[in-house]
Amino acid sequence: MHTVLALRHHRLPRYWLGLTLGLVAAAVGGVHWWEQQLPLKLQEAARAGRLDACIRHADQLAALRWLGGRAPQEQGLCRRRKAAQLWDQGQWSAAMKLQLQLVNSGASQPADQQQLVQWQRQLESRALGLFQQGDLQAALVLLAAINADHRSDGAALGDNLRDSWTRNRMLRDRGQQLIKQQRWWEALDALNRIDHPWWKGQTKELRQQVQLGIASLRRQEDKQHEGHGETNPSNVPLAEFDALVSRKIAAGMDDGQAFERACKELGGKVVETGPESACRR
């Protein structure tokens, strides 16, 4: 009796060991069989133009490379076609992501890297076009597809666009504030420093206000001088004088300093003619 039980206990570990090894062998065999089937499925999907299925099979095959399999050319073909399809549909971020996967895979070709660079340049060009048209956010969305919307050191193209946008907006705001204070020459300088096409269009009315303000100021000065029997309070070249005053204001001088320095450089001196000043040689 004891002998029979001992034999049974002795046989049980062997049974479980054999069962375990059998299951492992079956699993490995199944994986190996599936690995052999995947290239065929890849080829069928590629021939039929079922790009999503082809890519899915390619990803599965890539997960089995540890068994010694190589990435077939169909893997690169499907990713290449799918990336082009996404690009034509305007899904630029997804297209760039898939194209980058292709370039980093073992099924890529030299032309794939060239295509990636070409798409990057096209997105940069489109982003700059949107920026010039005044759509900063849309430009940043495009740049995000190529990781050019922001960098921690502020050196990305998107960072430069934000800085330019902010600078132009602040110049607009400064011009508005100076117009309210009727500081016409300083307002003109602020608006003249706006270099963004969209912001130039947005500040067109402000420029007209400044020009009207300057014209009104000159008329007032002329009337005041006419009341004193003077028809030409300043006898220096007016256009040259105004341009010189504007440049000095742009350099940081206030209205009074700019007026005095410009007058001196033109060989004149500032004289008081009633409540206003004039530049005479």
pLDDT digits (tens, 9 = 90+) for 161-199: 999 999 999 999 999 999 999 888 889 889 999 999 999
182: helix, strand or coil: coil
CA gap 18, 204 in Å, rounded = 88
Residues 6+ apart with CB under 8 A from 129: none
Tell me what pLDDT residue 19 has.
45
Report the percentage of the chain scoring pLDDT > 90.
41
Least confident range from 58-67, 75-84, 176-185, 223-232: namely 223-232
pLDDT digits (tens, 9 = 90+) for 15-26: 444 445 444 444
Mean predicted lDDT score pLDDT of the chain:
79
Most confident of 62-71, 109-118, 268-277: 109-118
3-state secondary structure of 193: coil
Q: Which helix or strand (DSSP H or E) is residue 20 part of?
A: helix 2-48
Give the pLDDT mean for 239-244.
Answer: 81
pLDDT the model gives residue 7? 47
Token digits of residue 43 = 């080829």
Q: Tokens 């420093």 sit at which residue? A: 193
pLDDT of residue 92: 92
Write out the H or E segment, with its range, that includes residue 278: strand 276-280
29: pLDDT strictly greater than 50: no
Specify the pLDDT at position 5.
46
Q: Where are the beta strands (DSSP E) in 125-275?
A: 269-273
* In the block, residue with structure tokens 């402000």: 206
pLDDT tier, 119 (very low <50, low <70, confident <90, very high otherwise): very high
Q: Residue 11 has what pLDDT? A: 54
How far is Cα 141 from Cα 134, in angstroms, rounded to an integer? 14
Q: Report the alpha-carbon distance of residue 234 to residue 242 in Å, rounded.
A: 12
For residue 56, pLDDT beyond 60: yes
Which range of 106-115, 116-125, 241-250 scores highest in mean pLDDT? It is 116-125
Q: How far is CA 85 from CA 57, 82, 229, 257, in A?
A: 18, 5, 80, 64
84 neighbors 95 (Cβ within 8 angstroms): yes
Return d(Cα 233, Cα 273) in angstroms, integer: 8
Residue 124 region by backbone torsions, left for phi larger than 0, else alpha for psi between -120 and 50, else beta:
alpha
Q: Which residue has the higher pLDDT, 208 or 12?
A: 208
User: Whole-angstrom Cα distance, residue 109 to residue 86?
Assistant: 19
pLDDT of residue 36: 58
- Residue 133 has a pLDDT of 97
Structure tokens at 40: 């065929």
Give the pLDDT of residue 260.
Answer: 84
Q: Name the strand (E) or helix (H) holding 280.
A: strand 276-280
Q: How confident is the model at residue 3 (pLDDT cuts 50, 70, 90)?
A: low
Is the pLDDT score of 28 beyond 60? no
